[in-house]
Structure 1
Amino acid sequence: MVNKEMIAVTLGVIVGFLNRIFMLRTDYRQYPTHKHGKMIHLSLGFIAAGLGAVAVPALLEENYTAITFLGLAAQQFRDVRNMERQTLSRLDELELVPRGYTYIEGIAMVFEGRNYLVIFAAFFTSMVTSLTNWKLGIVAGILTIVINQRYMSGLNIKDIADVRPAKIKIEGPHLFVENIYIMNIGLQTSQKIIEEHGMGIIITPKDMNSSVTLANLGQRQAILHNLSTILGVYRDSGEPSLVPLIKRDLNDGRLGVFFLPYNKNPEEAIRIVNLVPVLENAIRLPSESKEKEG
């Protein structure tokens, strides 16, 4: 007959591994795309699930070396974060519109954090199973999956700003998105391309915190990267006059977005910008700082 500890460990590993499968997504960021990349992350997820599940029976038997193994696992997952950062930084050098360091750091942080979520899910499921029974353990496992799915979804641009299409205009050599100055375009050929393929978007922050967050250069670069990745970009290397740009209106904090998509679809562009994640490293809360000072 299978003992209770084995059931707890097995159930914890299954729940932890399922959590990692549900959290592994290949989306517009295009990473991880290939099967080998997915296999690496799934393997690490399985190891994390095993560590979390085994820790509970070990602790119940007063075998405190399990804590040491969890500490070693944390160090390994920090190394995974460094690996993701280095890999994406190298890939970014070959992008026509790069992600930017802030976006890369956010992605690397997510991959590290998801392994910790797997450990906690496996640990909690194994603990409930060990202290009660396998039926409640399954309920606990389902609960961890629901919580992790909600925890994964952070803020998007639509939560902190209003996004709408805007007209671009060229006055002499000067390019504007509505009344926001973007850059100087001296070449007539570039001006013709911009008039034919260019699109503009205005992003209006909802409050002071949002305005400061959107002012972050890394957050702006993430917006441009997502637009260019999904809609394509009408430019090649060595064409600085066709580089997508975001400039800020210093009076009210609005952002003027200029880009040249292959697929000129304003409605899709608005949807893409609305779904751009708000990067954790870009979030600023000056209003809370003032409240504490007062």
Structure 2
Amino acid sequence: MNEYTMPIVAGLVSGTLARIYMLRSDYRQYPTYLHGRIVHISVGFIAAGLGAVAIPSIMEKEFTAVTFLALAATQFREVRNMERNTLTVMDGYELVPRGSTYIEGIAIAFESRNYLVILTAFSVTLAYLAANFIIAVIVAIAGLLLSKVLMSGGTIKRLAYIEYVKPHFDGAGLYVGSIYIMNIGLPERRKEILENGMGFILTPKNANSKITIANLGQRQAILHDVSTALGVYRDSGTPALVPLAKRDLKDGRLGVFVLPHVNDPEKAIDVIGAVPALENAIRMPAKKGKP
């Protein structure tokens, strides 16, 4: 072993652990277990290796090796494309699809996490060479904490107040509170909706939130996550049983109508509150004109 072996190993291990820490399958079951995880951990291992060898390469004046970092950025962009294409194909078979905005957010997240792995491995190797093993461990822990902070973006509960409201009919019109959802002509469908449907009113907390939750992609993400977590009472070819989210044009409130298998309003509120605020949906009109 030479003087760079242990620093590189430390950076490689810490970077790989950071990727494993950032790779979690939840109720949405993505990435899939087991093969989807293997793919992402393998790419994370490669990213950790690139970050770990960068400092030794510079110290040995092997500057050509550093250009692999630029090549890695191109390859990780392909990771984003791979995720986008895979999820787009899968979306066609979902009873309640994710939508393009949600898919793009997931794809960006998987690409960016590989850059966090490189940063973690790079920092740990540098700390080991510049100081000692103890400092490298501290830097590794700091890298994991930083990854946790950057993983946790905004959620719907930070943007809006969520209230359960039982759906009702006014003639053939289906309403959640005072918000019109759709027209249901068949009496048997109305009966199914009243028996199984749930409604929620999302009241935005400020002007920025009002625009964000109005985004069609953000609405679809809410419907998808609730239907994934609690099931959905519908099959293909039943448009009357499709979950929908509609705005109150006067005050910006959002009416959410879902037909879950598990009719549990409290759990549904928790799920809606945990839906991520999609980066491509976030708007900040309140900051317009400010430097």
TM-score, normalised with respect to structure 2: 0.98
Alpha carbons 1:48, 1:119 under 8 Å: kept: yes
Partner residue in 1 for 2:172: 173
Aligned residues: 291
Alpha carbons 1:17, 1:46 under 8 Å: kept: yes
> Matches of 2:18 and 2:151 in 1, distance apart?
11
> Matches of 1:138 and 1:163 in 2, distance apart?
42
Partner residue in 2 for 1:47: 46
What one-letter code is carried by the residue in structure 1 that aligns with 2:221? A
How far 1:4 moved relative to its partner?
3.2
Alpha carbons 1:165, 1:202 under 8 Å: kept: yes
Partner residue in 2 for 1:93: 92
What one-letter code is carried by the residue in structure 2 that aligns with 1:148? S
> Matches of 2:268 and 2:109 in 1, distance apart?
25
> Matches of 2:109 and 2:28 in 1, distance apart?
13
Once the two structures are superposed, the pairs formed by residues 1-294 of structure 1 within 5 Å of their partners are 2-292=1-291
How far 1:3 moved relative to its partner?
3.7
Q: What RMSD in Å do the two structures reach over aligned CA positions?
A: 0.9
What one-letter code is carried by the residue in structure 2 that aligns with 1:24? L
Alpha carbons 1:234, 1:260 under 8 Å: kept: yes
What one-letter code is carried by the residue in structure 1 that aligns with 2:226? L
How far 1:274 moved relative to its partner?
0.5
Gaps of 5+ in 1: none
Alpha carbons 2:25, 2:33 under 8 Å: kept: no
What one-letter code is carried by the residue in structure 1 that aligns with 2:130? L
What one-letter code is carried by the residue in structure 1 that aligns with 2:113? R
> Matches of 2:83 and 2:46 in 1, distance apart?
18
Q: Which deviates more, 204-213 or 283-292?
A: 283-292
What one-letter code is carried by the residue in structure 1 that aligns with 2:118? I
Following TM superposition, where does structure 1 have runs of at least 4 consecutive aligned residues deviating by more than 4 angstroms? none
> Matches of 1:130 and 1:291 in 2, distance apart?
44
Alpha carbons 2:105, 2:278 under 8 Å: kept: yes
Q: Secondary structure at the match of 2:192?
A: helix
> Matches of 2:37 and 2:17 in 1, distance apart?
14
Instruction: Please give the per-residue CA displacement for 1:51-96, whole angstroms capped at 9, x wherever unaligned.
Output: 0000011012222113310011111110111011000000000000
Alpha carbons 1:7, 1:134 under 8 Å: kept: no
> Matches of 1:176 and 1:80 in 2, distance apart?
42
Instruction: Please give the per-residue CA displacement for 1:157-186, whole angstroms capped at 9, x wherever unaligned.
Output: 011111110121101110100100111111
TM-score, normalised with respect to structure 1: 0.97
